[in-house]
């Protein structure tokens, strides 16, 4: 009697699993390779579309009475400066500075009062 072959051994199961993973990775690599090959074509098409938009905008005749949106450079997005925090105006900065000075003076006055009271308390002991 010869040895029986086990088709469902752990080694063959692992081999099948690895083969499936290899096939899946191969399909992923092919898809990514196709994307890499298509990327220059897509970039070229996008550049051409943007160029056509710029030409169309430049060739549009506008009246001086048109809305002021034409003064904005359309190559930049409208949210270009939205990430930057808004800088406070001079009056707001001056007001904040005065609040800081007043707060510091109030804290110093309170500290002086506490020190005077502490000294008087120790003198009466």
Distance set, CA 77 to CA 38, 51, 94 (Å): 27, 16, 33
State the Cα–Cα distance between residues 50 and 8, nearest whole angstrom.
59
Whole-model pTM? 0.35
Q: For position 1, what pLDDT does the model report?
A: 47
The residue-averaged pLDDT of 60-64 equals 66
Whether the pLDDT of residue 20 is over 80: the answer is: yes
To the nearest whole number, what is the mean pLDDT of the chain? 83
- Tell me the per-residue pLDDT of 28-57, one tens digit each, with 9 for 90 and over: 999 999 999 999 999 999 999 999 988 887
């Amino acid at each position: 009697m010869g040895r029986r072959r086990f088709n469902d051994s752990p080694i063959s199961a692992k081999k099948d699993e690895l083969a499936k993973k290899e096939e899946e990775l191969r399909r992923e690599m092919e898809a990514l390779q196709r994307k890499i090959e298509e990327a220059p074509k897509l970039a070229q098409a996008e550049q051409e579309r943007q160029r056509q938009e710029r030409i169309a905008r430049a060739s549009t005749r506008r009246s001086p009475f048109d809305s002021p949106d034409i003064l904005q450079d359309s190559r930049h997005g409208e949210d270009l400066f939205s990430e930057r925090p808004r800088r406070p105006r001079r009056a707001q900065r001056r007001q904040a500075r005065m609040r800081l000075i007043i707060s510091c003076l109030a804290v110093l006055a309170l500290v002086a009062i506490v020190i005077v009271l502490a000294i008087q308390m120790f003198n009466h002991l």
